[in-house]
Amino acid sequence: MKLNDFPVWNDLARSPAFGITVTVSSYLAGRAIQKASGGSSLANPVLIAILLVAGFLNITGTSYQIYYESTQLLIFLLGPATVAFAIPLIKNIEHVRGRLWTILLALTAGSSLSAVVGVGLVLMCGGSRAVAFSMAPKAVTTPIAINIAQATGGIPSLSAALAITGGILVAISINWIFNLAGIRDARTYGFSAGTAGSGIGAAHALSFCELAGAFGALAVGINGLVTPLIVLALARIWPV
């Protein structure tokens, strides 16, 4: 017998308290696990929280739709949180001066490659066009990725999931890659994390240091303008 056999459960699950309680406690558990593992980047709190919530919904038989509706407040806060990246950015603005072209070029290359390689690899491995265009906008911040996927025939919820998993992948792999390449520049660290891993990448960079966070924020901001153009151009080359 599952919890959703009881009518009272479905009423309870619809209240905002439900989704937020489940999400916050899973995220706190994720943070605790990361701390217990000695700050390992493999124990990413977002990833752990997603798995815990998914498991909980599955065990209780609660549909994703019900959960999603009860977490509207958290989803709304993504907007102001993106705006909030302006603060670390402006506090480190003097580091941007003089290297504007480097930044624009590195970002355009990084985000175009993300979209083109993403679409190319999906098709090469026999994926459908819908999956390819859910992959294409994943380097941009999640809310924008959803909108681009919608406009180009991708699957919006898959696009959101890919944007988040891509960000988690960046957070997990970046220390390893940078150590391997011997790069020790906080600006490069933050900017690459923000370009390839959007919001989660930038948040990871910010947890590293404020300068890295500022460059992550910068990358997310410019990417929000560049990636839509690239993906819409790709979709025009290859219409539905």
Partner 1 sequence: MIGEMLNRLGWLPLPGPVIGMVVLVFLLWWKPRTLSKPLEATSRHLLDWLGLLFVPAGVGVISNLDVLRAQWVPILVGLVGSTLVSLVATAYLMQKLPHPNPDEARDNQP
Task: Tell the smallest beta-carbon distance from residue 235 to partner 1 (Å).
Answer: 16
Amino acid at residue number 134: S
How many beta carbons lie within 10 A of that of residue 109, not counting itself? 11
Task: Tell the smallest beta-carbon distance from residue 96 to partner 1 (Å).
Answer: 10
Compute the distance between CA of residue 83 and CA of residue 91 in angstroms, rounded to an integer.
Answer: 14
Task: Tell the smallest beta-carbon distance from residue 8 to partner 1 (Å).
Answer: 23
Q: What are phi and psi of 62, to 5 degrees?
A: -90, 135
User: Residue 15 or residue 175: which is nearer to partner 1 going by CB?
Assistant: 175
CA-to-CA separations, 75 to 10, 24, 67, 168, in angstroms, rounded = 21, 13, 12, 18
Measured at the CA of 78, the angle between CA 121 and CA 217, to 5 degrees, comes to: 70
Q: Which of 35, 22, 18, 36 is nearest to 207 (CA)?
A: 35
Task: Tell the smallest beta-carbon distance from residue 133 to partner 1 (Å).
Answer: 11
Question: What is the sign of the dihedral through the CA atoms of 46, 52, 58 and 61?
Answer: negative
User: Residue 158 or residue 235: which is nearer to partner 1 going by CB?
Assistant: 158
Q: Which of 117, 153, 136, 93 is nearest to 227 (CA)?
A: 136
Element (H, E) at 150: helix 142-152
User: Residue 6 or residue 102: which is nearer to partner 1 going by CB?
Assistant: 102
User: Residue 13 or residue 53: which is nearer to partner 1 going by CB?
Assistant: 53
Length of the chain: 240
Q: Which of 164, 200, 157, 218 is nearest to 50 (CA)?
A: 164
Residue with tokens 């999400």: 23
User: Residue 12 or residue 106: which is nearer to partner 1 going by CB?
Assistant: 106
Task: Tell the smallest beta-carbon distance from residue 153 to partner 1 (Å).
Answer: 14
User: Residue 7 or residue 79: which is nearer to partner 1 going by CB?
Assistant: 79
User: Residue 7 or residue 182: which is nearer to partner 1 going by CB?
Assistant: 182
Task: Tell the smallest beta-carbon distance from residue 165 to partner 1 (Å).
Answer: 6
Task: Tell the smallest beta-carbon distance from residue 43 to partner 1 (Å).
Answer: 12
